[in-house]
Amino acid sequence: MRGAVIHAPGDVRFEERDDPKIIEPTDAVIRTVATCVCGSDLWPYRGIEAVDEPHPMGHEYVGIVEEVGAEVTSVTPGQFVVGSFATSDNTCPNCRAGYQSSCLRREFMTTCQAEYVRIPQAQGTLVATPDRPAGEFVPSLLAVSDVMGTGWYAAVAAEVRPGSTAVVVGDGAVGLCGVIAARELGAERIIAVSRHEPRQKLALEFGATDIVTERGEEGVARVKELTGGIGADSVLECVGTQEAMRQALRSTRPGGNVGFVGVPHDVRIDGEELFFSHVGLRGGPAPVRRFLPNLIDRVLTGRINPGRVFDLTLPLEQVAEGYRAMDERRAIKALLTP
Amino acid sequence: MRGAVIHAPGDVRFEERDDPKIIEPTDAVIRTVATCVCGSDLWPYRGIEAVDEPHPMGHEYVGIVEEVGAEVTSVTPGQFVVGSFATSDNTCPNCRAGYQSSCLRREFMTTCQAEYVRIPQAQGTLVATPDRPAGEFVPSLLAVSDVMGTGWYAAVAAEVRPGSTAVVVGDGAVGLCGVIAARELGAERIIAVSRHEPRQKLALEFGATDIVTERGEEGVARVKELTGGIGADSVLECVGTQEAMRQALRSTRPGGNVGFVGVPHDVRIDGEELFFSHVGLRGGPAPVRRFLPNLIDRVLTGRINPGRVFDLTLPLEQVAEGYRAMDERRAIKALLTP
């Protein structure tokens, strides 16, 4: 089969790779229906994370089950399944606590920009849709496997409540999905931080009530202006830089919460500042599995349409162009179909 | 009147100071019934915080109202009152959100080791007891004004729930009160981190079920052993050092919470480590005012007895000896009576 391999920063190739096989009795192999390029894939692509040797890429997927190991009974060949970028047995103490992305048997998926994918811990990782979904739902179901699940977790970690005010820092696909999540969780006011007109537009369509274009201290001041000088109840930090974290913490009211889902790169939080801020902080790789049944249902009932973050669709063999378009910010997110 | 003044590290004197007066119509003046020395008072005493010029000390107090300003109607002269180290109007948005120690009119009390004290924002800061309490209750009511209120907030911020496992890092008065709070909030297992035999004993009497004597990574490993390898649901960080924060974060299970109430001194939290830990973190100066009515009631009904953290009682004029005894760890906490 064929799939993406990164050879060096800026050098992603579509090439022949070994066919995935059942290795453990807890595995499944799926035929990919759709996969995509993630903002975090750009870290190695841009050379910010080292690329020591060529390796496959991709951690977002929906597909059709081809084969299952002997211990997998929850999904069967032929079913359409949605998974998560982190595998989970869904039975360990961390899974039972709702943190499946800290499963004791967790593996991070890394081979999904490909025609076929091996899914470890398939029993606890994959969720089948009730029927084979219509093609129009595929982008949103794919979004659920990562960016929508992550935006949802950001809103949950930031404790968005009905009637509250939420700020979303970051206008990538995760931030935009965070706007959807904040709206679904009942936020009355949703302030999206974005400088990019097409992303502002999508944020407003997804439920944002205000757009803030300023960053850093100016962005903080603007949010304070919009919130009676106090700050927001909930802030979703969807970037992962020091500047974004600082802006998020300072935009939050005392007693409010920051949910941070951008993988932090050289982020340090000052203990004394956090202390006097009274802000609660929780982040991490989203436990997407916790939210999958709920989010799949919201997609299939037409309540949410996070697939709209895909503004570029390419054949999988043009995966390199997907990276380029996202790197150059010509696309928010590129969907790939084998 | 007379009160404590710090002149330099190690040099606390009991000397004549100006009588406090009503300055604002929102003030009250109280006659001190009891005050005490706080662990945080040791920071300047030990020279870790600079002492640029002589200044009064003390932020814990219970007393009898002597006089009130024109706008103070909630307490009247002659009443026994408990306050907080942070003043609050109890009406601003932050107060209404339960974070009175972030009140927009907050002042930190700094003059309470004295015979009389001026209390700004008395209306929102002071809570009167139903009657003049018997002398046996005074130490616990004094504890409520700071260390018990702070231990309570640590447990609330760490989201201690019925049936949960809590770890308390720090065996000072706040940590010991944190044990009381964890028990009152229903923790089934309470692991106190302490190396000092008298403090271990008090922790066990307050409700600790296990004692861990190890610190740092060994302490983390011991907590993991006691919690099935996963970590605790809630950890109360009651020290304020980098080592204590690290131990607290690493002792917490994914999805668990750290409440941190030790004022951080040069504490930096690594964003990436916090991210992958899935731990929630909230700290700050405790909004004691939120908890005062509840905690006063628990004291007066005999349900809690946090006054036991005072293992040394001195006349106020011997305040310097109170500092020395705590600095040399001869006393957990020194109570002072004018």
- Residues B164, B247, single domain; the answer is yes
* Distance between CA atoms of residues B98 and B144, nearest Å: 17
Q: Which residues of chain A have a pLDDT value below 70?
A: none
Optimal mutation site among B239, B273, B275, interface A, most CBs of chain A within 10 A: B275
Partner residue opposite B102 with nearest CB, options A269, A278, A285: A278
Of A263, A283, A303, the domain-final residue = A283
* Cα B324 from Cα B334, distance rounded (Å): 10
Chain A residue with the nearest C-alpha to that of B241: A271
Query: Taking CA atoms, what residue in B is nearest to A279?
Result: B282
Residue A66: alpha-carbon gap to chain centroid: 25
Give the dihedral of Cα atoms A320, A323, A324, A329; nearest 10 deg.
Answer: 160
Average pLDDT, chain B: 97
* Best to test chain A binding among B281, B288, B289, B290 (most A CBs inside 10 Å): B281
d(CA A333, CA B12): 64
Shortest CB distance from B282 goes to which of A99, A280, A287? A280
Query: What CATH code is carried by the domain that includes residue B25?
Result: 3.90.180.10
Q: What are A185-244's pLDDT values in tens digits?
A: 999 999 999 999 999 999 999 999 999 999 999 999 999 999 999 999 999 999 999 999
What is the pLDDT confidence band of residue B236, given thresholds at 50, 70 and 90? very high
The pLDDT value recorded for residue A320 is 97
Report chain A residues whose CB lies below 8 A from the CB of B93: 228, 230, 253
**Among B120, B90, B118, residue whose Cα is nearest residue B104:** B90
Contact between B275 and A254 using a beta-carbon 8 Å cutoff: no
Residue given tokens 């928010």 in the structure block: A332
Contact B97 A254 (CB under 8 A): yes
Percent of chain B predicted with pLDDT > 70: 100
Say yes or no: B87 and B203 in one domain: no
Q: What is the mean pLDDT of residues B245-251?
A: 98
Domain check: are A50 and A163 in the same one?
Answer: no
- Tell me the H-state helices in B259-312: 271-277, 288-300
Percent of chain B with pLDDT over 90: 99
In angstroms, the Cα distances linking A219 to A194, A277, B85 are 10, 17, 33
B163–chain A nearest CA distance, Å: 14
Q: Between chains, do B268 and A264 touch, taking CB under 8 Å as contact?
A: no
Chain A residues inside the 8 Å CB shell of B101: 278
Please name the residue of chain A whose CA is at the shortest distance from the CA of residue B265. Answer: A272
- pLDDT of res. A58: 97
Residue B49 or residue A137, greater confidence: A137
Question: Are residues A115 and A10 both part of a single domain?
Answer: yes
Q: What is the count of structural domains for chain B? A: 2
User: Rounded mean pLDDT of B8-26?
Assistant: 97
Residue A88 backbone class (left: φ over 0; alpha: ψ -120 to 50; beta: rest): beta
Contact A254 B278 (CB under 8 A): no
- Residues of A near B (CB-CB distance < 8 A)? 93-94, 97-99, 101-102, 157, 228, 230, 242, 245, 253-255, 260, 263-272, 274-285, 287
Domain co-membership, A119 together with A169: no
Among B283, B302, B319, identify where a domain stops: B283
Residue B31 pLDDT grade (very low, low, confident, very high; cuts 50, 70, 90): very high
Query: Could you tell me which residues of chain B have a Cβ less than 8 Å from any Cβ in chain A?
Result: 93-94, 97-99, 101-102, 157, 228, 230, 242, 245, 253-255, 260, 263-272, 274-285, 287
**Residue of chain B minimizing CA distance to A269:** B269
Does B138 lie in the same domain as B6? yes
Same structural domain for residues B19 and B155?
A: no
pLDDT tens figures, B259-292: 999 999 999 999 999 999 999 999 999 999 999 9
Kindly give, in sequence order, each residue whose CB lies less than 8 Å from that of residue B11, ignoring residues fewer than 6 positions away: none
Specify the length of chain B in residues: 338
CB atoms under 10 Å from CB of A157, counted, come to 25
Q: A282 and B277: CB-CB below 8 Å?
A: no
pLDDT tens column, B112-134: 999 999 999 999 999 999 999 99
Q: Which of B261, B283, B305 is the last residue of a domain?
A: B283
Shared domain check, B224 and B162? yes
Pair B44, B130 in one domain: yes
Write the CA distances from A166 to A147, A191, A233, B91, B95, integer angstroms. Answer: 18, 6, 6, 23, 20
Sheet holding A189-193, edge to edge: A210-212, A189-193, A165-169, A232-237, A252-260, A280-283, B280-283, B252-260, B232-237, B165-169, B189-193, B210-212
Same domain, B223 and B123: no
Give the span between the Cα atoms of B173 and B162, in whole angstroms: 23
Same domain? B82 vs B157: no
Average pLDDT over residues B229-246: 97
Domain that holds residue B220: 151-283
Q: What is the CATH number of the domain that holds A186?
A: 3.40.50.720
Which residues in chain A have Cβ-Cβ distances shorter than 8 Å to B226? none
Do residues B198 and B293 share a domain?
no
Nearest CA in chain B to A283: B275
